[in-house]
Amino acid sequence: MTDNFKLDLTHRPRRLRRTASLRALVEETVLRPADFIAPLFVVEGQGRPEEIASMPGVFRLNLADVVKECRALHRLGVPAVALFPKLDPKLKDHEGTQALHEETLILRAVRAVKKAVPEMTLLTDVALDPYTTHGHDGVLTAAQDDVANDRTVGILAKMAVLQARAGVDLVAPSDMMDGRVGAIRRALDAAGFTGTGIMAYSAKFNSGYYGPFREAVGSAQAAGTRLLSKATYQLNPANRREAITEALLDEAEGADILMVKPAGLYLDIIRELRDATRKPVAAYQISGEYAQIHAAARLGWLDYARCRHESLLAIKRAGADMILTYFAKEMAALLKA
């Protein structure tokens, strides 16, 4: 009897899922190589690439290899890279003074990449955690129990000017200090870098998923733990309204692009920010998100390729205009093929 059962339906959404070509015609969200920003880790010396144990397929690269990687990414259609330094621990101190050295590693990396691949958009991190012995994003108060907001902002503004002078296209303050976007904008403009943009880490949460990144830049080693809490300056993961307040303050202070970090765990924040602003929205698929996909796939619990694609598709579908992701190169190669 059930073989003859028919529903009297006007609307059958499955009609448009019947064939691959139909599904392609109605696909609402599409990933492109141009959507991605590739984070790259830079080290001193001429050694071979060092794979980061907790981030399979991600390496610390010397300057020559960073240039090679940027050339390869450019050929694949990835338009931008974000550079992060891993300093020799001997260069770190309590104040992060190496960040203001004219020949510090990140500035030499920017100059090298800009000379070799001038078409590549370069982002640099504006925060002190790669440079400090305590692993925090700024200098500490006299009591050593918190980050000193205003004194840190003064240092970050100087960092941003040095990075602009080296040729960076976008400075990216990731520190979450109050007022830092406005201070950086004023400093850049006063120094004549009115064309240098600011991609603000506007809604950066105090996440437990940053551990592999802290290993990559050596801030966990400096602090003695990858579990370092930054709760007094990064956002409480419980707070949606506060995240939008932070982002809109950055917009008012002159940010050109607003970022949400982490990405996949905060799709609701990406969507709410997309609805609240006309500025471009970036999202950072962080090290822990990347690492857990790899780990589960290696155990045979997830389909690596499908989960990699789905995780990025979800971020773009939520409203991100651009995605910082450690999958950038392999996804661009796949999409370009």
Is residue 208, in this structure, part of any structural domain at all?
yes
Put simply, whether the predicted model's pTM sits higher than 0.75 gets the answer yes
Per-residue model confidence as pLDDT tens digits over 41-74: 999 999 899 999 999 999 999 999 999 999 999 9
Amino acid identity at 240: R
Is residue 23, in this structure, part of any structural domain at all?
no
**Cα gap 38→327, rounded to integer Å:** 8
**Cα gap 241→137, rounded to integer Å:** 24
Looking at residue 218, its pLDDT comes to 79
Is residue 20, in this structure, part of any structural domain at all?
no
Q: Which of 52, 31, 89 is nearest to 314 (CA)?
A: 31
Looking at residue 101, its pLDDT comes to 96
Per-residue model confidence as pLDDT tens digits over 270-321: 999 999 999 999 999 999 999 999 999 999 999 999 999 999 999 999 999 9
Catalytic residue among 92, 261, 279, 329: 261
Amino acid identity at 234: Q
What does residue 19 show for φ and ψ, rounded to 5 degrees?
-130, 160
Is residue 3, in this structure, part of any structural domain at all?
no
Is residue 82 helix, strand or coil? strand
Is residue 82, in this structure, part of any structural domain at all?
yes
**Cα gap 336→170, rounded to integer Å:** 26
Catalytic residue among 86, 92, 204, 279: 204
**261 a catalytic residue:** yes
Strands 59-61 and 50-51: antiparallel
Could you tell me the CATH number of the domain that includes residue 93? 3.20.20.70
Inter-residue contact 304 to 265 (CB < 8 Å): no
Give the CA-trace dihedral at 113, 168, 170, 183, to 10 degrees. Answer: 150
Is residue 13, in this structure, part of any structural domain at all?
no
Looking at residue 6, its pLDDT comes to 92
**Cα gap 103→101, rounded to integer Å:** 5
**204 a catalytic residue:** yes
Is residue 14, in this structure, part of any structural domain at all?
no
**Cα gap 233→137, rounded to integer Å:** 9
Is residue 1, in this structure, part of any structural domain at all?
no
Could you tell me the residue range of the domain that residue 204 belongs to? Answer: 31-336
Instruction: Say which residues have a Cβ less than 8 Å from residue 314's Cβ, sequence separation at least 6.
Output: 264, 267
Give Cα 324 distance to the centre of its chain. 4
Inter-residue contact 46 to 282 (CB < 8 Å): no
Ranges of the chain whose pLDDT falls below 50? none
Instruction: Say which residues have a Cβ less than 8 Å from residue 97's Cβ, sequence separation at least 6.
Output: 131
Q: How many domains does the chain have?
A: 1
Report whether the peptide linkage leading into residue 130 is cis, meaning its omega lies within 30 degrees of zero: no
